Structure 1
């Protein structure tokens, strides 16, 4: 009987001990949650102050990170713009006289640097005299005309060039949209055709927006010498001038001069 009572007392003590242990554990958990909640609620107060190096420590991940990066970069851009504006205001207020002189000096320097080989060539012509001056001028003129001719040839305008009938039609179609004039001289081997081709080629440089083509009339089906040379002018893909036996427009169809061709081109290309 005594043994039974002792075992019952021991069990009740163990149960009490277990209850006390559970109570202690529950209190510990409750206290821990409270401390965690307090810490999270007052984290901003207890967290160490964020220094400049902690404001943005590199690219962030996730949606919130992307937004943080965007806001940071926007603030940086705004700060830099404000600094630049302040520096510009300070520079303007720091002595306009000195700035004006510096600007004038830069302008003069730019003008000096802008002097080209052509300017030097002209100076050399002006400094020379007599026959030597005339020779230098002729050389300079010939060189410049050659340069202009090469530039025009590359652009396809302001120079007379030979073309086949297919090329002539293709060019008319290609330039239909830009409104450029296209002058096509249909020629043969006769004297009037050769003379016309020579003078048109010389005058072409005065029309840098016009395409000049020389096509053999026979290749286009024109075999009657009585209608050749022919000058055709196109614009926007349409034929605007059709001058059959164009030399008859001149006072002397066989001995016309360059000025006659120049006057004719002015009439049909500048109207």
Structure 2
């Protein structure tokens, strides 16, 4: 009988011990669940969980409004963060408005300078290839036709002075033509003996003007056009009015070139 009583006491102790372990285990699980819930609440956005459809009643309407406002706020914040991230990633590859304007200005300045340089080079080439005379050349009768023909295709005007050194007016005219040949250096000025041509000047200097091989100014009775007491301005005007010269024939010769003649 004592053995039976002792066995009952042992069973009762074991049951109490098991109950104690079970209670402690349940207590630990509850504490763990509470801690997990606290952590979730700490790192979650504070809002009420929606588990059903739209709410009704004043409180339900307010809850719906708050719920949608919260979702809108979250969406806007997400969009802003994404935009900022894109801008930050593009920053090293983009420039400011002023930088773009400065770059465009530099390109324009470069293009303008390039254009001016090209035009200047073309002008220098034209001047280099251009035939410049700047003086009155004496020719013989056998050169007469050749002098006119060689300038025919180039459009260079040829001014021919039928010269007789015995006539004072011819000597005066020759001085004026020498000065005009310096001013209109792109035109060819020549003198030829009227006696050698067997041409009677009849006491009047004579000028013939050719262009493209064609006689365009026949001024054999010059004093009838400008008078016996003519000056260089009248001679220049006479040649311009009759098309023997033009402003295109003007050329500024270097001083050293003029002094050489």
TM-score with structure 2 setting the length: 0.43
* Rg (Cα) greater in structure: 2
The structure whose residues are more often helix, as a share, is 1
> Which structure would you say has the larger RCO, counting Cα contacts within 8 Å and 6 or more residues apart?
2
TM-score with structure 1 setting the length: 0.41
